[in-house]
């Protein structure tokens, strides 16, 4: 269980505790977000991806963070409202956290970065919109750098494969 995201809890933007064990059996895409970033329009593609696969057992979870160039000045609740109003986001937006590697990094992002394949320098977020793909057992199976668009073929094909398992 220690290598699964299902061991964690975090608060959502409305300050309610979310138990990640509730996501057992679902394919997850966890993303660190910011509302004032050049990549912010990715919310539109994330929502389209969510709509495409949500009825098949797929979830996206967004974590606002102000770690990179202070591009998330809003509170978590304001960030969630921004996403909904401007991009129609209906997937969960969580509490505002630290995602950058270091002493303040939230345990979920420490777990994601440490369990993603590759070099640790690259697997931990270095900018907004880093994406982590997890299988139905809560294990990190892949990650995508911020500039990888959510509707990229490699993300969609990976989601499809994981949903079949």
Q: What is the mean pLDDT of residues 125-129?
A: 94
Model confidence at 120, in pLDDT bands (50, 70, 90)?
low
Let me know if 37 is a catalytic residue: yes
Query: Has residue 1 got a pLDDT over 70?
Result: no
Q: What is the mean pLDDT of residues 44-57?
A: 97
Q: What pTM, to 2 d.p., does this model score?
A: 0.95
| Among 101, 155, 143, 133, CA closest to 27 | 133
Dihedral sign, CA of 37, 38, 44, 47?
A: negative
Distance between CA 29 and CA 61 in Å, rounded? 6
Query: Has residue 121 got a pLDDT over 80?
Result: no
User: DSSP character for 56?
Assistant: G
Average predicted confidence (pLDDT) for the chain: 94
**Tens of pLDDT along 23-34?**
999 999 999 999
Distance between CA 160 and CA 162 in Å, rounded? 6
Catalytic, out of 10, 37, 39, 152:
37
Question: How would you classify residue 140: left for phi > 0, otherwise alpha for psi between -120 and 50, otherwise beta?
Answer: beta
CATH number for the domain spanning 50: value is 3.40.30.10
Q: What percent of the chain has pLDDT over 90?
A: 92
What pLDDT sits at residue 106? 95
| Among 123, 121, 122, CA closest to 111 | 123
Model confidence at 110, in pLDDT bands (50, 70, 90)?
very high
How many domains in the chain?
1
Model confidence at 3, in pLDDT bands (50, 70, 90)?
confident
Segments forming the whole domain that contains residue 94: 5-164
């Amino acid at each position: 269980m220690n290598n699964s995201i299902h061991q964690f809890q975090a608060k959502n933007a409305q300050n309610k505790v979310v138990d990640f064990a509730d996501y057992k059996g679902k394919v997850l895409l966890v993303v660190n977000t910011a509302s004032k970033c050049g990549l912010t329009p990715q919310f539109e593609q994330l929502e389209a991806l969510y709509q495409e696969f949500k009825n098949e057992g797929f979830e996206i979870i967004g974590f606002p963070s102000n770690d990179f160039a202070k591009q998330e000045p809003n509170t978590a609740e304001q960030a969630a409202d921004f996403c909904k109003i401007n991009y129609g986001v209906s997937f969960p937006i969580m509490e505002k956290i630290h995602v950058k590697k270091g002493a303040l990094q939230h345990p979920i992002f420490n777990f994601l970065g440490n369990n993603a394949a590759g070099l640790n320098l690259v697997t931990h977020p270095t900018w907004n919109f880093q994406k982590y793909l997890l299988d139905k057992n809560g294990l990190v199976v892949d990650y995508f750098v911020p500039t990888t668009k959510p509707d990229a073929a490699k993300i969609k094909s990976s989601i499809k494969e994981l949903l079949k398992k």
